[in-house]
Amino acid sequence: MKNGKRGAEAPIGIFDSGIGGLTVLKELRRELPSEDVVYFGDTAHLPYGTKSKETITRFSLDNVRFLRAQGAKMVVVACNTASSLCLDVLKERFDVPVIGVIEPGARQALSVTRNGRIGIIGTKATIGSGSYEACLKRLDPRVKVYSEACPLFVPLVEEGWLDGDITQRVARSYLEPLRSFKIDTLILGCTHYPLLARVIQKTMGSRVRLVNSAEETAKEARQLIVRLKLRREGRPAQADMRFYVSDEPEQFRVSGERFLGRPVQSVAKIGDHLAPARASSRRTTETASIAELLTGHVRDRS
């Protein structure tokens, strides 16, 4: 391992496809302020939500191997798509605790709904997997579940388009069908989506409760760390955060500072531990999708 710390002194590892996992990191810092954290954003392969299960599993295995090489004593899969499709594989393959974001979010939604009608938004892969619905039904068979894939939300967040006319139009296009089902709770089933919470709340209305699975995931991480006697003792000011990405470190640094509200001293671009990136094709596809919106071709789904 590159990081020589062991046991309770070792860091917690977090990975996501981009900056979305910072929503989990932010909550984790509140729950466990003394813990060192290593964060990896697989920005070269963003977004995960449009890729196959086999591809997402391969990327996720590589991500955890990298975090283990940094000495991670626990890994938080801060990506709903990876949590949906390959969490069990990761748990079986590695000798450290691995937790995801699906069940914590489902439990929180069930605790706050008043009418038992819960909506879910996420990537195509997350919604297609049916993982949230299966988890909700397992915890409460009586619940009514309605879902909607929102594939353009991730590129909008990564590009920093958190508000404005285009983002609001995309949100209305995706979310208005859910309003017709009279849900009172909406699970933000992608760790990028809390960054769009203001627009989503405005579109859904004040009576709909938004559930951010990052909060419950951080609480679960704290409980597990304590139970396994791996909690690090020390002053929060001594805690270290290290950031790694597979592409575009400067863009990640700027976006990370804006979201975290604190300086991000450095973001390192890692070597070739992952398969060769096809970031250019990713950008082309997403730019084309957003370009359609700019020319007024927003599909009316209401």
* Residues 11 and 70: beta-carbon distance below 8 Å: yes
Is 86 among the catalytic positions? no
Residue among 42, 133, 48 at smallest CA distance from 86: 48
What is the number of alpha carbons within 13 Å of residue 26 lying toward its C-beta?
A: 21
Q: Are 161 and 293 contacting, i.e. CB atoms less than 8 angstroms apart?
A: no
The answer to whether the Cα torsion of 13, 14, 18, 19 is positive or negative is negative
Fill in the amino acid letter for 41.
G
- Of these residues, 79, 86, 135, 150, which one is catalytic? 79
Phi, psi angles (nearest 5°) of residue 301: -115, 10
Active site residue 79: yes
Report whether 145 contacts 189 (CB < 8 A): no
3-state helix, strand, coil in the chain (%, to 5): 50, 15, 35
CA 174 from chain centre, in angstroms, equals: 19
Selecting among 86, 135, 150, 190, the annotated active-site residue is 190
Residue 269 sits at φ, ψ, to 5 deg, of -90, 120
Q: At what angle do helices 279-294 and 165-179 cross, to 10 degrees?
A: 80
Active site residues: 79, 190
